């Protein structure tokens, strides 16, 4: 088999999904600096080369804006994303409904879905969840790696801290309301205590949009084997994270092989129906934030979305069937979205 050609064909002829990109935040930052047409100039070509149909854009709020500016910045990110999409003449669509998603696939367009990366923008106001739903937000990571009104986030590295908490009373109300509204619950960035509270207080499938295996790389941002199995048993999906420090890519190590190790481990635990892509490619976002605080920095395992086919090629090379690979590159998350959207 020509694995490269087979991988390219699979991406060309099947649904391909990435469940985590800080796109709205990057567009907002660039618009604030006077830059326009961000998707067209920086992403569209590579989305197409990678065969991507659906990209989930997070709404992520930097620490410097919290708490006072969280709501304002989140709304600004949605506005900037909508304005940027309008410049693309229908080639890219903001997905709010099942029909819109189906049309994106049928017409070979690119659909953007919105998700919170931390519920910081709503503070402790449950009613704001409905407002953001009307604006197109269809999923929510309860926390980023910090505490908010809903729950505690997990640290990236060991830190000195007091007693950790799981879901708060507000957090329990949030997850119940999200299930009632058909919003997808995302446990990436949640600490272990919060993870098991989500299991306790919810009934529907939930996802980890951009998390890896703690057995492959010991890090609190990653999932234990037990957590992976629970997500699988619930019918959920885990998106593989391509951020080097979360994947555990060492200096000189092939990052594609490392990402395939995480995928292979999860598939061995729960089968191919519960793994997908959630790359968390951050270089563009970091670049857009230079005016605030960041130095030039790139910790991505992939140069762009076009490189996603390299992971597919590696999975085929390891003997994974094309049917299993179709699920991983997008079929699984498409199934979840199809069940969730109305």
Express each pLDDT in 210-260 by its tens digit.
Answer: 999 999 999 999 999 999 999 999 999 999 999 999 999 999 999 999 999
Position 164 scores a pLDDT of 82
Determine the structural domain holding residue 167 and report its residue range: 3-340
CATH code of the domain covering residue 7: 3.20.20.140
Angle in degrees, CA 259, 261, 266, rounded to 5:
100
Mark the ranges of the chain whose per-residue pLDDT is less than 70: 290-297
Position 286 scores a pLDDT of 80
Instruction: Identify the CA nearest to 144 among candidates 72, 209, 81.
Output: 209
Tell me if 187 sits within 8 A of 195, measured CB to CB. yes
Instruction: Indicate the DSSP class of residue 39.
Output: I
Position 295 scores a pLDDT of 52
H/E segment holding residue 19: strand 17-21
Position 296 scores a pLDDT of 53
- 161-183 as b/e: b if 16+ CB within 10 A: eeeeebbbebbbbbbeebbeeeb
Query: Who contacts 212 (Cβ-Cβ below 8 Å, separation ≥6)?
Result: 219, 221, 222, 223, 240, 241, 246, 247, 248, 262
Say which residue the tokens 């999409």 belong to.
Answer: 85
Number of domains the chain is built from: 1
Taking each helix axis from N to C end, the angle separating 225-233 and 192-201, rounded to the nearest 10 degrees, works out to: 20
């Amino acid at each position: 088999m020509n694995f490269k050609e087979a991988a390219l064909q699979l991406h060309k002829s099947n649904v391909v999904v990435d469940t985590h990109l800080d796109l709205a935040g990057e567009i907002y930052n660039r618009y604030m600096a006077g830059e326009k047409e961000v998707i067209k100039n920086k992403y569209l070509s590579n989305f197409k080369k990678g065969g991507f149909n659906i990209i989930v854009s997070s709404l992520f709020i930097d620490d410097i804006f919290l708490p006072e500016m969280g709501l304002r910045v989140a709304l600004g990110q949605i506005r900037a994303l909508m304005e940027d999409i309008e410049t693309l003449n229908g080639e890219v669509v903001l997905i709010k409904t099942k029909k819109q998603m189906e049309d994106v696939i049928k017409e070979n367009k690119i659909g953007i879905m919105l998700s919170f990366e931390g519920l910081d923008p709503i503070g402790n106001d449950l009613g704001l969840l409905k407002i953001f739903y009307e604006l197109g937000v269809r999923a929510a990571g309860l926390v980023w790696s910090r505490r908010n009104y809903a729950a505690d986030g997990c640290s990236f590295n060991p830190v000195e801290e007091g007693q950790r908490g799981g879901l708060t009373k507000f957090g329990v109300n949030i997850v119940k309301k999200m299930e009632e509204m058909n919003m997808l619950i995302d446990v990436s960035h949640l600490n272990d205590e919060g993870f098991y509270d989500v299991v306790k207080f919810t009934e529907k499938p939930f996802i980890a949009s951009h998390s890896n295996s703690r057995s492959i790389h010991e890090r609190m941002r990653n999932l234990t084997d037990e957590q992976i199995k629970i997500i699988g048993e619930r019918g959920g999906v885990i998106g593989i994270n391509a951020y080097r420090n979360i994947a555990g890519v060492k200096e000189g190590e092939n990052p594609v092989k490392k990402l395939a190790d995480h995928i292979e481990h999860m598939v061995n635990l729960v089968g191919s129906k519960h793994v997908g892509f959630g790359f968390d490619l951050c270089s563009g976002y970091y670049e857009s934030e230079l005016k605030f605080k960041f130095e030039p920095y790139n910790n991505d395992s992939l140069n762009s979305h076009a490189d996603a086919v390299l992971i597919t090629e590696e999975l085929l090379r390891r003997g994974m069937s094309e049917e299993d690979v179709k699920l991983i590159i997008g079929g699984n998350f498409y199934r979840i979205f199809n069940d969730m959207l109305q």
